[in-house]
Amino acid sequence: MVRVGRYLIYGLLDPRDGSLHYIGKTHKRREWRLAEHIQLARDGDSRPVYDWIRSLLEAGVEPEIFVWRRIPADADWQQAERDAIAFWSWPEAIPFPYVHPPQTPKSTELVIRSVQLENATQGG
pLDDT band at 5 (very low <50, low <70, confident <90, very high): confident
pLDDT of residue 122: 72
List, in order of start, the domains of the chain with CATH numbers.
6-115 (3.40.1440)
CA 15 to chain centre: 13
Model-wide pTM > 0.85: yes
Tens digits of per-residue pLDDT, 47-103?
Answer: 999 999 999 999 999 999 999 999 999 999 999 999 999 999 988 899 999 999 998
**pLDDT tens across 92-119, in order?**
899 999 999 998 888 889 999 999 998 8
* Residue 1 scores a pLDDT above 70: no
Q: How many helices (H) and strands (E) does the chain have?
A: 3, 6
Which residue, among 122, 102, 121, has the nearest Cα to 111 in the 3D structure? 102
* pLDDT at residue 4 in the model: 61
